[in-house]
Amino acid sequence: MTAPEAPIPCRKNPSGWDIDRTGRDGLRAAVRACRLECPLLAHCRVLAQSGAVRTQSMVWAGIVHDERGRPMDLDDATLRVGTWSHGRDTRIPDGDGRIFNGHTGQWERPLTAG
């Protein structure tokens, strides 16, 4: 797949798609951007439905997913999103400890407790 000409919203601010780093309003904005602005929406939907990517704790293909990868309802009053996690790294490392950030397309090092 080649890079599209149009900007990819989640690459501008990847933390805005992370349920542990963004509140309800930010996640709603991410969902809107995914659904209305992203040139890769159809591709992301195929990846998510195929199981080729882990959708835990993030907005992926215009859907907010919890830490187990299940769709979340942002209108649920009991839902906890945002900075309540106190730096918990919800990304999932590979066997070597590297983490692939699907939004940036980059491999990252795990967050370390500071």
Summarised one tens digit per residue, pLDDT across range 46-95 is: 988 998 888 888 999 999 998 888 999 988 877 777 765 545 555 666 77
What's the rounded Cα separation, in Å, for the pair 36 and 13?
16
pTM of the model: 0.69
Q: Give me the pLDDT at residue 83, please.
A: 64
Say what percent of the chain tops pLDDT 90: 31
What's the rounded Cα separation, in Å, for the pair 68 and 54?
9
Q: Give me the pLDDT at residue 96, please.
A: 73
Q: What is the DSSP string of 58-85?
A: BEETTEEB-TTS-B--TT-TT---SGGG
Q: Which of 17-21, 42-46, 53-57 has the highest mean pLDDT?
A: 42-46
Instruction: Look up tokens 């159809």; give the residue.
Output: 42
Higher-confidence residue of 6 and 27: namely 27
Domain ranges of the chain: 9-73+90-102
